[in-house]
Amino acid sequence: SILDVGCNAGAVSLRAAFLGASQVVGIDINNERISVGNEISRFIGLSGSVRLVTGSVVDAKLLSEQGTFDSCFCLAVSGRMGDEKGFLTELCKLVRETLYFESNHSPEGYEKYIALFNELGFPNVEYKGSTTEGFPIRHSLVAKRNNK
């Protein structure tokens, strides 16, 4: 099962379902993007396994209502949060195995995310690189709860 936080029109969500994920939930604040994603999902026959929801990813109640997931994609949304640590703390409660994470804007080094994910129960964190061209600094990491 997959949670896609800040899913836009659901491209990652749809791809995960296409590749066999049995349950996929995508959340984005933009209702127009969610509507487009749901229309695409119906058109390609994936609406049975993909649910795209309009809402704020900082709404802890909305997040917790979605259940827990094997994996989560949180790509370029965390820097928009007022309380990034609080947001990631709540998000990590929903992830059983793996978090694919990309910071949205972080002038600090990626080491802060490794330390935070370790603190939140993900002892295995792999730094995948940083992007600075055309974007604010973005750090990409994969955090795992175990060695799988």
For 61, residues 6+ apart whose C-beta sits below 8 A from its C-beta are none
Handedness of CA 115, 144, 52, 134 (dihedral sign): positive
Tens-digit pLDDT string for the chain (148 aa): 999 999 999 999 999 999 999 999 999 999 999 999 999 999 999 999 999 999 988 888 898 899 999 999 998 886 667 788 888 999 999 999 999 999 876 666 788 899 999 999 999 999 998 877 666 678 899 999 986 5
pTM given for the model: 0.90
The position carrying tokens 């604010």 is 136
The token pair at 111 is 């080491």
